[in-house]
């Protein structure tokens, strides 16, 4: 009983009180806001509601990245552009200061390699690195969650992007369970010049402790250059809001290595 009471009244270490203004991010780099084209916003009303909430958090630019998967979401620029234009028109009426940019989240497979043969047709997005002023043309891509990417396929995709003047950007790098215990794979991608991103929902623990630990480890190693919402639905925006009180986001912003503020600038 005495031990219990001592532990109960023992002075707890003070935790640093953190309040980070999300306006410092300026740009959200990954979202699914084009209505009715993938597993994101199902219609215009839903898309505008999500955009309103992101803008209210302080974002000035939103890069929306519909899935392009050859089997599940066979989107093309010709399919996406008209629907994006409709969304952009509605956004300009309601939020005239908000800049909306169309890119895509490509799935790594042989069809993606075929698309890389014509790099001028890819939905990329611009970025100016706040650290050194380097200009980039970036492309977001992802892997399957249940199976690690084929090393040869991945190496070839990175090579084709970089030799075409495109900077590869890996979506939600800490969510792939096969890399939770093999984090050297993330280091290898970073060393090759691939930009690694993490989702807000991962940082706050919504995808489990291993994903969260992997994300925080990658941040500590200096591998993470972007924090994204990956907005499909309102709960993803709730996770972004939680980052206001997160030491990990404060650390990323203080270090000055985030690319978010430079995304959308040419």
Other C-beta atoms within 10 Å of 155: how many?
12
pLDDT at 18: 66
Mean pLDDT, the chain, rounded, equals: 94
pLDDT confidence band for 17 (50 / 70 / 90) = low
* Helix ranges restricted to H, 109-233: 110-115, 151-163, 184-191, 200-203, 209-220
Instruction: Flag whether 153 is in a domain.
Output: yes
Q: Which helix (H) or strand (E) holds 132?
A: none
Tokens of 239: 């996770």
pLDDT at 7: 46
Residue with tokens 């890819």: 122
Q: Is 127 left (phi over 0), alpha (psi -120 to 50) or beta?
A: beta
Evaluate whether residue 12 is within a structural domain: no
Residue 8 lies inside a defined structural domain of this protein: no
**Averaged over 73-90, what is the pLDDT?**
98
Q: For the chain, how many structural domains are there in total? A: 1
Its domain, for residue 130, covers 21-262
List, for residues 238-263, the tens digit of each pLDDT value: 999 999 999 999 999 998 899 999 99
Whichever domain contains 106, its CATH number is 3.20.20.140
């Amino acid at each position: 009983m005495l031990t219990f009471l001592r532990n109960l009244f023992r002075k707890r270490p003070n935790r640093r009180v953190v309040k980070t203004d999300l306006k410092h991010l300026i740009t959200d780099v990954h979202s699914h806001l084009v209505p009715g084209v993938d597993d994101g916003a199902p219609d215009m009303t839903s898309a505008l509601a999500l955009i309103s909430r992101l803008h209210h958090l302080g974002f000035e630019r939103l890069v929306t990245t519909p899935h392009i998967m050859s089997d599940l979401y066979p989107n093309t620029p010709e399919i996406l552009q008209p629907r994006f234009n409709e969304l952009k028109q509605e956004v300009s009426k309601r939020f005239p200061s908000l800049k909306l940019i169309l890119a895509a989240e490509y799935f790594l497979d042989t069809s993606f390699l075929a698309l890389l043969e014509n790099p001028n047709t890819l939905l990329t997005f611009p970025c100016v690195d706040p650290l050194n002023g380097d200009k980039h043309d970036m492309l977001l891509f992802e892997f399957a969650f249940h199976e690690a990417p084929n090393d040869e396929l991945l190496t070839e995709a990175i090579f084709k992007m970089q030799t075409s003047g495109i900077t590869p950007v890996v979506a939600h790098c800490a969510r792939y369970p096969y890399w939770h215990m093999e984090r050297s794979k993330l280091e290898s991608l970073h060393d090759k010049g691939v930009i690694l991103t993490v989702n807000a929902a991962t940082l706050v623990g919504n995808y489990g402790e291993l994903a969260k630990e992997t994300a925080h480890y990658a941040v500590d190693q200096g591998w993470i250059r972007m924090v994204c919402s990956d907005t499909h639905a309102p709960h993803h925006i709730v996770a972004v809001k939680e980052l206001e009180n997160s030491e990990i986001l404060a650390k990323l912003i203080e270090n000055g290595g985030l690319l978010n503020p430079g995304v959308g600038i040419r």
